[in-house]
């Protein structure tokens, strides 16, 4: 290995003592290949083959916790004992490759696909009549908190090393936190603290699962998106408030979802500042922070790692094209990292057909490597 990349391979001990062998993580990547009932398929098995090789942490794709939350064709699910075997198999495939295996748990809310959910009955924080989405009742909110906890319980019993709560990318948890989508007047909506109540209730319920099983080694993380484009959407001020609350809790890591690792603040603080660095300062070493977005090459990764903005650097699209990418760096073959899917590749880079078709037809916006924002 070229010595300049050595810092990528420093180990990281999380605040509960779990050791990640290096600073490289696979971001959660929905691959649209699971069976229609949400169990593992042969396409999933082919996708996972070698995908986690060389990474310290592998965050498995958004796994749906309740029938109303299914937001992708071929999405994996975990809303009952019947999913235990499937989860067990996925966890063991990932762990056999030497990575710490974390399952992302998710509810799509207003982004659920009508054909995939019971009676096409899509729900969110509030009514969205133009999209045929209705506000969840108080009982449904409570049941959904429990659904996240039950999915975490299943993941733990299936042998996963941890779970990541999906509070990002405008899915249900973010729909509750954002004033753009949450117009409720009950205990789950209103001022910022009340809009935060549902994400925090999910967080606390999931953290309780670990207590119940007396498994302090079970890793729990939370993924969030820092800002929204709408005038009444989330700003960095909202993000700081959420991070302050999350960082009081015994999470092992927070994970900021961004298209570009180097993004500056847009609203709610000085636009001179790096979003990641500001969040990292607020966490103040209580837990790890994962940064992501446009990191493809060994040079991208080491620049991000050495910026001090994050404890772990995660990759998404680069892993779809290059399963087991860290091995290339370790073996001094970083020049072989491919920067886009090759449409002529007969093995489709090991991707399920649906994801492959979306990729080569341009439906899926492949994100090219990004330049640092100065
Ligand atoms: C095909 C695809 C599927 C994704 N699935 C998920 C997902 O299940 N959960 C999630 O939080 N983010 C998901 N993302 C976002 C990625 O985790 C990541 O944040 C994003 O791709 C930016 O990183 P990158 O530039 O390294 O790809 C997905 C992205 C892509 C391209």
* CA-closest residue to ligand 1 atom 30: 29
Q: Which residues contact 130 (CB under 8 A, 6 or more apart)?
A: none
Domain that holds residue 29: 3-361
Output the pLDDT for position 358. 86
Output the pLDDT for position 103. 98
In a domain, 323, yes or no: yes
In SS3 terms, the chain reads as CCHHHHHHHCCEECCCCCEECCCEEECCCCCCCCCCCCCCCHHHHHHHCCCCCCCCEEEEEEEECCHHHCCCCCCCECCCHHHHHHHHHHHHHHHCCCCEEEEEEECCHHHCCHHHCHHHCEEECCCEHHHCEEECCHHHHHHHHHHHHHHHHHHHHCCCCEEEEEECCCCHHHHHHCCCCCCCCCCCCCCHHHHCHHHHHHHHHHHHHHHHCCCCCCEEEEEECCCCCCCCCCCHHHHHHHHHHHHCCCCCEEEECCCCCCCECCCCCCCCCEHHHHHHHHHCCCCEEEEECCCCCHHHHHHHHHHCCCCEEEECHHHHHCCCHHHHHHCCCHHHCCCCCCCCCCCHHHCCHHHHHHHHHCCCCCCCCCCCCC
Residue 295: CB within 6 Å of ligand 1?
yes
pTM equals: 0.97
Q: How many CB atoms lie within 10 A of CB 159?
A: 16
Closest to 323 (Cα-Cα) out of 165, 122, 163, 97 = 97
In a domain, 372, yes or no: no
Q: Which two tokens stand for residue 163?
A: 């779970």
pLDDT at 141 over 90: yes
In a domain, 368, yes or no: no
Q: How far is the CA of 213 from the centre of ligand 1 (A)?
A: 30
Query: Is 48 a residue of the active site?
Result: no
Residue in the structure block whose two tokens are 């399920």: 352
Q: Which of 83, 160, 171, 177 is catalytic?
A: 171
Residue in the structure block whose two tokens are 């087991």: 324
Write the pLDDT tens digit of every residue in 322-370: 999 999 999 999 999 998 888 888 999 999 999 998 888 777 765 554 4
Overall domain count for the chain:
1
Output the pLDDT for position 345. 87
In a domain, 367, yes or no: no
Q: Which two tokens stand for residue 326?
A: 């860290």
Measured between alpha carbons, how far is 337 from 330 in angstroms, rounded to an integer?
A: 12
* CA-closest residue to ligand 1 atom 4: 29
Residue to mutate (ligand 1; options 26, 30, 63, 365; most atoms within 8 A of CB)? 30
Residue 257: CB within 6 Å of ligand 1?
yes
Output the pLDDT for position 365. 64
Output the pLDDT for position 373. 45
pLDDT at 274 over 60: yes
Residue to mutate (ligand 1; options 24, 26, 27; most atoms within 8 A of CB)? 27
In a domain, 246, yes or no: yes
Residue 370: CB within 6 Å of ligand 1?
no
CATH (domain of 233): 3.20.20.70
* CA-closest residue to ligand 1 atom 28: 29
* CA-closest residue to ligand 1 atom 12: 28
Residue 338, exposed/middle/buried by CB under 10 A (0-12, 13-18, 19+)? Answer: middle
Task: State which ligand 1 atom lies nearest to the alpha carbon of 318.
Answer: 26
Mean pLDDT of 135-161: 98
Residue 109: CB within 6 Å of ligand 1?
no
Q: Which residues contact 239 (CB under 8 A, 6 or more apart)?
A: 224, 226, 227, 268, 275, 279
* CA-closest residue to ligand 1 atom 19: 257
Q: How many CB atoms lie within 10 A of CB 154?
A: 26
Residue 277: CB within 6 Å of ligand 1?
no
Closest to 130 (Cα-Cα) out of 122, 140, 138 = 122
Residue 168: CB within 6 Å of ligand 1?
yes
Q: How far is the CA of 366 from the centre of ligand 1 (A)?
A: 10
Mean pLDDT of 274-293: 98
The values of phi and psi at residue 219, to 5°, are -80, 130
Mean pLDDT of 263-283: 97
Q: Which two tokens stand for residue 82?
A: 């019947």
Residue 161, exposed/middle/buried by CB under 10 A (0-12, 13-18, 19+)? Answer: buried
In a domain, 238, yes or no: yes
Q: What is the mean pLDDT of the chain?
A: 95
In a domain, 136, yes or no: yes
What proportion of the chain, given as a percentage, has pLDDT over 70? 97
Residue in the structure block whose two tokens are 């498995």: 60
Residue 104: CB within 6 Å of ligand 1?
yes
Q: Which two tokens stand for residue 34?
A: 């699971």
In a domain, 366, yes or no: no
Q: Answer whether 217's CB lies under 8 Å from 17's CB.
A: yes
Write the pLDDT tens digit of every residue in 53-94: 999 999 999 999 999 999 999 999 999 999 999 999 999 999
* CA-closest residue to ligand 1 atom 29: 29
Residue 293: CB within 6 Å of ligand 1?
yes
């Amino acid at each position: 290995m070229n010595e300049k990349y050595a810092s990528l391979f420093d180990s990281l001990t999380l605040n509960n003592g779990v050791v990640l062998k290096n600073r490289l993580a696979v971001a959660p990547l929905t691959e649209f290949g699971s069976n229609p009932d949400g169990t593992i398929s042969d396409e999933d098995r082919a996708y996972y083959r070698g995908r986690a090789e060389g990474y310290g942490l592998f965050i498995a794709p958004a796994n749906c916790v309740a029938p109303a939350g299914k937001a992708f064709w071929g999405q994996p699910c975990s809303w009952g004992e019947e999913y235990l075997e499937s989860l067990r198999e996925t966890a063991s495939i990932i762990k056999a490759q030497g990575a710490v295996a974390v399952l992302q748990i998710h509810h799509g809310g207003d982004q659920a696909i009508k054909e995939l959910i019971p009676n096409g009955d899509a729900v969110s924080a509030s009514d969205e009549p133009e999209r045929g989405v209705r506000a969840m009742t108080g009982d449904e909110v409570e049941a959904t908190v429990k659904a996240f906890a039950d999915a975490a319980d299943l993941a733990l019993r299936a042998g996963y090393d941890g779970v990541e709560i999906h509070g990002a990318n405008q899915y249900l948890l973010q729909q509750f936190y954002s004033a753009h989508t949450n117009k409720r007047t009950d205990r789950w909506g209103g001022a910022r603290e009340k809009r935060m109540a549902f994400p925090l209730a999910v967080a606390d319920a999931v953290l309780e699962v670990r207590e119940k099983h007396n498994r302090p080694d079970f890793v729990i993380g939370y993924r969030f998106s820092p800002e929204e484009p709408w005038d009444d959407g989330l700003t960095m001020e909202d993000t700081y408030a959420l991070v302050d609350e999350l960082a009081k809790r015994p999470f092992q890591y927070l994970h900021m979802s961004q298209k570009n690792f180097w993004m500056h603040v847009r609203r709610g603080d000085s636009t001179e500042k790096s979003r990641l660095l500001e969040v990292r300062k607020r966490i103040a070493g209580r837990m790890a922070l994962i940064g992501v977005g446009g990191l493809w090459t060994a040079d991208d990764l080491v620049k991000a790692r050495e910026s001090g903005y994050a404890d772990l650097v995660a990759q998404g699209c680069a892993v779809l094209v290059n399963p087991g990418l860290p091995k290339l760096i370790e073996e001094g073959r970083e020049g072989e990292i491919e920067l886009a899917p090759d449409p002529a590749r007969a093995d489709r880079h090991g991707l399920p057909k649906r994801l492959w078709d979306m990729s080569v037809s341009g439906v899926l916006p492949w994100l090219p490597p990004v330049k640092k924002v100065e």
